[in-house]
A and B are shown apart, each in its own frame.
Chain A
């Protein structure tokens, strides 16, 4: 899922400084699961913004809402129910949601309340780790299911590098060297010979280096 983290309150207050009425909009998708922008977080941020503005002597009206998702046209259409009730939308969805509102609501002012961090999962309760870089050309079948693009600091295709020390990455002794993990795992699943395959020079266009990407499925288009 997409992992996000709420922006500092001061930064958000600065965004909405000219607004008297704000629609604080949560999303029931990924940001609910990672506790960054679901209904509960909407409730908390609404309180904080009201308190912050009250302290400044400029109370703000916060309208709270949450959409099933903010990355689909049909759900963004649901924004109509709050028409006329706000000066700006403060979205707690990932950057996709903010972009969708901007795309589909040309006259609506929209601000991001979270920083969209990465694609990851919950390693333990309250801890999320990056697992996928969305590079558009998956090679996990060659690496035992562990992604060197996302989890190697250099995104090396033929690792490990000389900075791998005691199975840790040179950038931080708390970070596993994913190539060590790949090596160990391929050995455990009797596929160690895959380490000998030399990965060719990679075309990074699919990773976004060729501009914004899109997926088109003709079979779904009527």
Chain B
């Protein structure tokens, strides 16, 4: 049986991902950032709607995570706090549908290309691999 490679979508704000995506992401690839994690940049994670996060699951994501500024250091003051609330709302909704709420997670990271940015992706990759395919795909046992 082939290894399960999860489809993971990461929504990152402009500030936390700016340097990460420089050089066409070459440094990102060299750093060990999982290739199955797709980056979706938004001006501010506070702009992310619950429906956008749910759409990611509709489109086949096995896991979703959001990377925003540190709680009290958001460029847009409360953007990452809003994002965290919306991630929590999706976690609650997943729970209502009897799907693992940990398939979506919020990270608050400093600006710049830090090892933590890669570590977050690796952590989600490991977590979702352990969970298996998302039940919304109709492939789970």
Contact = CB atoms under 8 A, between A and B. Distances in A.
Interface of A: 8-10, 40, 43-44, 47-48, 50-52, 54-55, 57
The secondary structure that dominates the B interface is: helix
Contacts of A47: 51, 54-55, 57-58
Interface stretch (B25-33, B67-75, B93-101, B112-120): B93-101
Interface in B39-80: 49-51, 54-55, 57-58
A51 B57 contact: yes
Contact of A40 (B49, B57, B135): B49
Contacts of A10: 96-97
Contact of B136 (A8, A40, A44, A55): A55
The 6 nearest A-B residue pairs measured at CB: A47-B54, A43-B51, A9-B96, A55-B135, A51-B136, A52-B97
Interface string B70-110: 00000000000000000000000100111100000000000
Q: How large is the interface on B (under 10, 10 to 19, 20 to 34, 35 or more residues)?
A: 10 to 19
Contacts of A50: 58
Interface of B: 49-51, 54-55, 57-58, 93, 96-99, 135-138
Given A40-B51, A47-B51, A54 B96 contact: no
Given A40-B49, A47-B51, A55-B97, 8 more contacts: A9-B97, A43-B49, A44-B50, A44-B93, A47-B54, A51-B57, A55-B98, A55-B99
Given A51-B136, A57-B138, A44 B96 contact: no
5 contacts: A8-B96, A9-B93, A47-B54, A47-B57, A55-B99
A173 B51 CA distance: 37
A44 B97 contact: no
Binding site of A, secondary structure by majority: helix, strand, loop or mixed?
helix
A49 B97 CA distance: 9
Contacts of A51: 54, 57-58, 97, 99, 136
Contacts of B57: 47, 51
Contact of B138 (A8, A44, A55): A55
Nearest to A57: B138
A44 B51 contact: yes
B136 A54 contact: yes
Contacts of A43: 49, 51
Residue from B55, B96, B99 with most neighbouring chain A CB atoms (10 Å) = B96
Most A CB contacts (10 A, CB to CB) among B55, B58, B97, B99 go to: B97
Contacts of A57: 138
A51 B94 CA distance: 9
Contacts of B54: 44, 47-48, 51
A52 B137 CA distance: 10
A51 B140 CA distance: 14
A78 B55 CA distance: 28
